[in-house]
Structure 1
Amino acid sequence: MTTTEPRRLTGYAHGGGCACKIPPGELESVVAGLLQPGTGDMNAELLVGLDDGDDAAVVRVPGGPTMVATADFFTPVVDDPYDWGRIAAVNALSDVYAMGGTPVVAVNLLAWPRDLLPMELAAEVLRGGLDVGRQAGCHVAGGHSVDDPEPKYGMAVTGVIDPERMLRNDAGVPRMPLTLTKPLGIGVLNSRHKATGETFPQAIATMTTLNRDASRAAVEAGVTCATDVTGFGLLGHLHKLARASGVTAHIDASRVPYLEGARKALTDGYVSGGTRRNLDWVRPHLDSDLSEDELLLLADAQTSGGLLVAGELPGHPVIGELRAARGEGITLVVR
């Protein structure tokens, strides 16, 4: 009698989820030459582009709507194909919510090793994305697929936004509190899952929770500055926000919430290369006396993380505040 070991999707990927992002320092050098405005007549006014590395592009069509657009995809972060599809879809929609927009239509982006994995699994991934689209009130209409040695899935999403009520990463000012809407620790738990096969329902529940309600609450509260916390970790995304806004962010590490099991996963060594690169990137801009382990948790590469809001949102912890620019290249002070 022969037995067939179950296929583990994470075993077909060199990394997992947003931890597979190109390191932020390398990415910024790649796009640096693309910041100059193009020539010729454009069909819409670009309100938010590459300049500050915000979460999505925003364009205003003359006589028409203001639209927000983004794309996001990644390798498997969990072994269950349906859950992976849901996580990837929630993560893609998050960029629209991080700008204060409402997603309207999404198209699938699928890479699949068709000679290695059955297409039935791909169908489950797409079903997960479709179900999230329905939950968000966003159409999922087709997309594009390629044969690829490594499975990848995500979405390109287009939404609408009120240009007078946008959330941007360059709108922070001193004395604004900083609110985090989801706990950290997704990255180390996903790394443990990939290595051992252990499952963590608390991580899946967090990754599949839409940032819609938090986004709406921020817009209704008059918040103007926010970003989401994904592959560059809390420290990486906060550094970008503080740099773009010309302020220094102060964090009280004791107030930062973590998922159950995150600290144990860190202690046991389940730290991704992406997390270590995040910390290396922000280290020159960081003033902190915390241990290396604490800093790694704060730099943990999140997949489908929460919003980081410059303002107070009921029901979510305030973890710090923005203060006047300190100079010397320091954007982050963590105690």
Structure 2
Amino acid sequence: MAEEIVFCKGGGCTAKLGPDLLSHVLDKLPRGEKDPNLLIGYDSKDDAAVYRVSDEVAVVQTLDFFPPMLDDPYLFGQIAATNALSDIYAMGGTVKTALNIVCFPEQMDLNILGKIMQGGAEKVIEAGGTLAGGHSIMDNDVKYGLSVTGVVHPDHIYGNNQGQPSDVLILTKKLGVGLVCNANRVGLAPEGAMEEAAASMTTLNRKAAEISHHYEIHACTDVTGFGFLGHLSEMINEEISAEIDSISIPVIRGAIHCAEEFLLTAAAQRNRNHVGDRVEFSSWIPFSMEELLFDPQTSGGLLFAVKPEQAGAFLKELQGAGLPAAMVGRFVSKKERDIYVR
């Protein structure tokens, strides 16, 4: 009897290698001679590479792919593409072209592959980009994503570690999709939770990025597999620490309940192990909120560090566009710990 192929074994950004393991490997790679036109690359932990081709144009380059986190192939394709496109927006760029990355079992129904790629192609079009080709290989499991190219003005790049003391932190999507997807896989997701999570994961960060171009943004990242605290830690520099207001964190319905029921992901524990000693939680913060902040996000929102005088107007415009954005904290002058959660 042929072995049954399982479409969803647990994936999305929970499938990322842990940050500790990844750093151990990347730190040993040869870098070669530094290219002055490589404006963002290995030297930072940014979301994409940026290469200057003229005084007016820089190319933004990224790729992202992962296995399914749910059983609907079309929805999975949409989510994987939305997630990959997000890195361009996190750098302040505009999407131009995308290439498919496909791993697919030879014996699986090709209609499934068609649905995955249809979902991805529609999101590329929604982003204003052009799907220009791709590459596929046979594999034991399904994996899908995109390599994406965008453009940005060299003077208007959003680095992730250029925040300043007093910057206000604004998050554009709710947290908790990792917890909810994990609960859904074992049939224990609260009513309506998976539907809200799916809607969040298929919402492009394009609108948030376009709105941000009207404001003074000092730093930005998208919140994905390393969780809110993991990606926030990458924004910390020698001059700043972050203070987070946990009450203000926007949350997918049912996610806190999933954490309380210990429907946790291994990726969240890797995130906790990696960055936990850089974080101080107030004594009244419950374990479920800690877990939410370490929870790996698939196709999460953008986290902006914005000039404080402009934060109110920026937030109002984001919310006016229908986004569940919230002020979640601020950067302050350097303190003993990198991150304080109150």
Confirm or deny: 8 A CA contact 1:166 1:219 kept in the other structure.
no
Confirm or deny: 8 A CA contact 1:171 1:245 kept in the other structure.
no
What is the deviation of 1:257? 1.0
Helix, strand or coil at the partner of 2:148? strand
Counting aligned pairs with the same residue, the percent is: 38
1:230 counterpart letter in structure 2: T
Please state if 1:119 is matched with 2:119. no
Structure 1 counterpart of 2:150 = 159
Please state if 1:258 is matched with 2:276. no
Could you list the per-position Cα deviations for residues 205-229 of structure 1 after superposition, in whole angstroms to 9, with x for gaps in the alignment? Answer: 1000000111112222121311000
1:9 counterpart letter in structure 2: F
Matches within 5 A, 1:44-123: 45-62=37-54, 65-115=57-107, 117-123=108-114
Q: 1:207 aligns with which of 198, 201, 207?
A: 201
Q: 1:63 and 1:333, CA in 2 relative to 1: closer, same or farther beyond 3 A?
A: closer
Q: 2:229 aligns with which of 235, 238, 254?
A: 235
Please state if 1:309 is matched with 2:318. no
Q: 1:9 aligns with which of 4, 7, 10?
A: 7
Structure 2 counterpart of 1:147 = 138
1:139 counterpart letter in structure 2: T
Q: 1:66 and 1:258, CA in 2 relative to 1: closer, same or farther beyond 3 A?
A: same
Please state if 1:223 is matched with 2:217. yes
Q: 1:245 and 1:114, CA in 2 relative to 1: closer, same or farther beyond 3 A?
A: farther
What is the deviation of 1:325? 1.3
Q: 1:281 aligns with which of 274, 278, 289?
A: 274
Confirm or deny: 8 A CA contact 1:166 1:224 kept in the other structure.
no
2:147 counterpart letter in structure 1: A
TM-score by length of 1: 0.91
Q: 1:197 and 1:280, CA in 2 relative to 1: closer, same or farther beyond 3 A?
A: same
Q: 1:333 aligns with which of 302, 327, 340?
A: 340
Structure 1 counterpart of 2:329 = 320
Structure 2 counterpart of 1:31 = 26
Cα RMSD (Å): 1.9
Q: 1:35 and 1:296, CA in 2 relative to 1: closer, same or farther beyond 3 A?
A: farther
Confirm or deny: 8 A CA contact 2:171 2:304 kept in the other structure.
yes
Where structure 2 has 5 or more consecutive residues not aligned to the other structure, the ranges are: 320-324
CA–CA separation in structure 2 for the residues paired with 1:104 and 1:267: 42
Q: 1:180 and 1:159, CA in 2 relative to 1: closer, same or farther beyond 3 A?
A: same
CA–CA separation in structure 2 for the residues paired with 1:34 and 1:103: 29
TM-score by length of 2: 0.89
1:186 counterpart letter in structure 2: V
Could you list the per-position Cα deviations for residues 1-41 of structure 1 after superposition, in whole angstroms to 9, with x for gaps in the alignment? Answer: xxxxx98621xx3x3100111111111121113374x239x
CA–CA separation in structure 1 for the residues paired with 2:272 and 2:142: 27
Helix, strand or coil at the partner of 2:45? coil
What is the deviation of 1:48? 0.3
| Paired residues, number | 320
Helix, strand or coil at the partner of 2:213? helix
1:23 counterpart letter in structure 2: G
Structure 1 counterpart of 2:176 = 185
